[in-house]
Copies of this chain bind each other. A is one copy, B any other.
């Protein structure tokens, strides 16, 4: 019988490269991992597919899901809702899959409250100077926007104490390897239970 899968949350400040690290370690097929699809009230963009890029719902449907406690975490961003459907994650875990979420620190804190067995991993920048360089490097933005992003990242860094594992993204390969070692160890424990 296949054991229940893990719930793994990859979080960290904006601009730190969570997505890059996540995509890198997810190349390891032995991790039996799958990436969780989010639910959103935003309209699909060209090429986006239902159930692959997002689960697309109306604002009303999203609000109903919040009321009924059907979301593991959710947030509102520029007028649209984004969240993680609880039932969907539970089903994947019941099938033995290790579900990977890559989310912002506030969503991650919501999950920890609802799901104490979550494996939370925080990605940090080598330094705040390097994070600033990465945020500036992304695209050409007004200085005001850059400053807002930096202030947000600094706030997000204060969540670090809530995490059992903190990994510096100074090198994507090392960060991905460390996360793989952590997940493999927890898979072994899950199987031994």
Q: Which residues of A approach B to under 8 Å, CB–CB?
A: 122, 124, 126, 157-158, 160-161, 163-168, 170-171, 173-174, 177-178, 181-182, 185, 189
* Other-chain contact of A167, B157, B165, B173 (Cβ < 8 Å): B165
Q: Check A185–B160 contact: CB distance below 8 A.
A: no
Contact B166 A163 (CB under 8 A): yes
B170 and A181 form a contact (CB under 8 A): no
A124 & B182 in contact (Cβ 8 Å cutoff)? no
Instruction: Tell me, in angstroms, the Cα distance from A169 to B139 when the chains sit together.
Output: 39
| Cβ of A164 to closest chain B Cβ, rounded Å | 4
**Cβ-defined partner of A174 (8 Å) among B124, B166, B167, B182:** B182
The answer on a CB contact under 8 Å between B164 and A160 is: no
Residue on B nearest A165 in the bound complex, by CB = B168
Contact (Cβ within 8 A) A181 B182? no
Complex Cα gap A160–B157 (Å): 11
Query: Does A181 lie within 8 Å of B174, measured CB to CB?
Result: yes
**Does the CB pair B181–A126 fall under 8 Å?**
no
- The chain B residue sitting closest to A124, CB to CB, is B164
Identify the closest chain B residue to A180 (Cβ): B181
Q: Are B166's CB and A185's CB within 8 A? A: no
Q: How far is the CB of A87 from chain B (nearest CB, A)?
A: 28
Q: Please, which residues of chain B bring their CB within 8 A of the CB of A170?
A: 164
16 more A-B residue pairs beyond the given contacts A171-B189, A178-B182, with a C-beta to C-beta distance below 8 A? A122-B166, A124-B164, A126-B164, A157-B161, A160-B161, A161-B161, A164-B168, A164-B170, A165-B166, A165-B168, A166-B166, A171-B185, A174-B182, A174-B185, A178-B178, A178-B181
